[in-house]
Amino acid sequence: MRSWNSVALGIAYLLGGVLSLHGQTPTLLIPSSKSRKNQSTQKTSAPTAVSSVLPHGPGSMPTTAILAAGLPLRVQIDHRYRMRKGKPIEGRLIDPVYSADHIVLPVNTRIYGDISDLTPIHGSKRTWARLNGDFTPLKQPVLHFTSIKLPDGSSLPIDAEASERTADLVKMGPPVKKKSRIQKIKAAIHAKFTGMKQGISNAVHSKHKSERALQIFYGQLPYHPQDIWTGTEFDAELTQPVTLPDPNANHLLPVTPPHGHIPPGTIDVRLITPLTSKTDKVDTPVEAILTQPYLSKNHQDVILPNGTHLVGVVTQAKPARFWGRNGTLRFTFRQVKLPAGTMENVHAQMTAVEGNKGQNVTLDSEGGAHANADKGKYMDPLVLGYLAGANAVDTNQNQVDAATTSNGFGLPARILSILFVSGTTISVFAYYAAGQSVIRRWIMRGHEVVFAKNTRMELAVADR
């Protein structure tokens, strides 16, 4: 009797174990309805810049996070590299990468690749380079990153194409009273001197003084090598999804939908729709995506998960015009697309944005972006004109005067002026430089407002 009881008890344990194993099915948690649809239809393409998390049961594979194709990685190069196709290159992440509500790739994560292509530069940039005496066939590097070094020291293969990013963060300033022409000139001259002082200070205290000096020297040569300089930044966009270990995926904060009310605060997004004041019109659709989760005030709940889309429109667009008149661009976000697919109303406007250095972009109190004149619009033509006029009056030039006055054609102009010390030669180059400065800053079209794809922005959510 005892043996039959033992057999029956063994069979019961065996059936219980089989049923318990059958019930341990991994659960797929995806913070985007579009991702859920892609998974259910077994498509290989992933939504742009949306991370998904895959927790596993006890005793199974380690928990992982999936970085979707299209996710941009902000990379900075820490060494100078000569532009040659196939040359190995190394950089580091300068922005963290999130999955759900936590970081999976921290700042300073190492990334490795090579220079995959060199794209010729055409248009106005190439034309102005030639007019300044630079006949180098200018090219733009395209990088291909193939691996990253994870925090645990292991290497993870990736596939990402990168393009150079030349932009500075611009924050919204306080309302500015309208200035007279004289006040604008004084402010511009002050800004020019301040910028020169800051530039000299940066050069003196920089860790890369030799590179700065080499860049200045290259700028004077009619033909020079082309390098990727230390500190250059790139946007590397993943072309394939990447799966990486994520031990924190089982400790996610709960997602609390806003239910018609998104509390005020600041959110970080990147632009999906490229915008320009040159061609975009009023009511042009605009879309952006969260790069960091938007948490509740006590940081205990997620209101808008990482990867949430924002939808808006252009409300004002004015292209640049001749006589140095610059462009203006204004847009606002009015709706949020939640992971479940529902839409919520929101009012969000820019308080900070990455603006290209050449545009000299500023933000007004209503979130509008304005391109501004160069800081040297007033000062440079005055100085160059003064040097040209002084040279015409002074008939006793020496080598120092020749080198100082002949600003119009880079190093060749200075060498010719020093060799011949001819008043005519010096005057030609001096007036050429002054005329070029006036044409470029006062007669030709002003700067456009251009926000490329993946431009980072800071938005203020208003309580409306």
Q: Are 459 and 350 in contact (CB under 8 A)?
A: yes
Give me the percent of the chain exceeding a pLDDT of 70. 74
Check for a shared fold between 66-165+229-243 and 253-373+446-461: yes
Residue range 66-165+229-243 forms a domain whose CATH class is: mainly beta
Report, as an integer, the average pLDDT of 441-452.
90
Instruction: Give the pTM.
Output: 0.75
> Which residues is 140 bridged to in the sheet?
119
Q: How confident is the model at residue 75 (pLDDT cuts 50, 70, 90)?
A: very high
pLDDT of residue 175: 54
Cα 425 to Cα 435: distance, rounded to the nearest angstrom: 16
Residue 148 burial (10 A CB sphere; 0-12, 13-18, 19+): buried
Q: CB atoms < 10 A from the CB of 323, how many?
A: 9
Over its C-alpha atoms, the chain yields an Rg (Å, rounded) of: 29
pLDDT tens for each residue of 374-384: 777 878 888 87
Question: What is the full DSSP assignment across 400-415?
Answer: HHHHHH--SSHHHHHH
**What are the structure tokens assigned to 214, written together?**
């080499």
Q: CB atoms < 10 A from the CB of 110, how many?
A: 14
Report, as an integer, the average pLDDT of 25-32.
30
Average pLDDT, the chain: 78
HSE toward the beta carbon, residue 160, CA cutoff 13 A? 29
pLDDT tens for each residue of 350-381: 888 888 777 788 888 878 888 888 777 878 88
Q: How confident is the model at residue 151 (pLDDT cuts 50, 70, 90)?
A: confident
**What are the structure tokens assigned to 442, written together?**
């006062």
Cα 340 to Cα 100: distance, rounded to the nearest angstrom: 15
Phi, psi of 13 (to 5 degrees): -60, -40
pLDDT tens for each residue of 288-339: 999 888 888 888 888 888 888 999 999 999 999 999 899 999 999 999 988 7
Q: How confident is the model at residue 161 (pLDDT cuts 50, 70, 90)?
A: very high
Lowest mean pLDDT among 41-45, 180-184, 240-244, 253-257: 41-45
Q: Are 275 and 450 in contact (CB under 8 A)?
A: yes
pLDDT of residue 157: 95
- CATH fit for domain 253-373+446-461, picks 3.30.70.360, 3.40.640.10, 3.10.180.10, 2.40.128.260: 2.40.128.260
Q: How confident is the model at residue 130 (pLDDT cuts 50, 70, 90)?
A: confident
Domain range summary for the chain, segments of one domain joined by +: 66-165+229-243, 253-373+446-461, 379-443
pLDDT of residue 91: 96
Q: How confident is the model at residue 254 (pLDDT cuts 50, 70, 90)?
A: confident
Q: CB atoms < 10 A from the CB of 84, how many?
A: 12
Lowest mean pLDDT among 20-29, 158-167, 168-177, 423-432: 20-29
Cα 230 to Cα 208: distance, rounded to the nearest angstrom: 8
Q: CB atoms < 10 A from the CB of 168, how many?
A: 12
Q: Is 353 helix (H, G, I), strand (E, B) or coil?
A: strand
**What are the structure tokens assigned to 290, written together?**
């969260």
Instruction: Please report the sign of the dihedral spanned by the C-alpha atoms of residue 119, residue 125, residue 127, residue 131.
Output: negative
More confident residue, 174 or 146: 146
Lowest mean pLDDT among 47-56, 84-93, 104-113, 139-148: 47-56
More confident residue, 216 or 208: 216
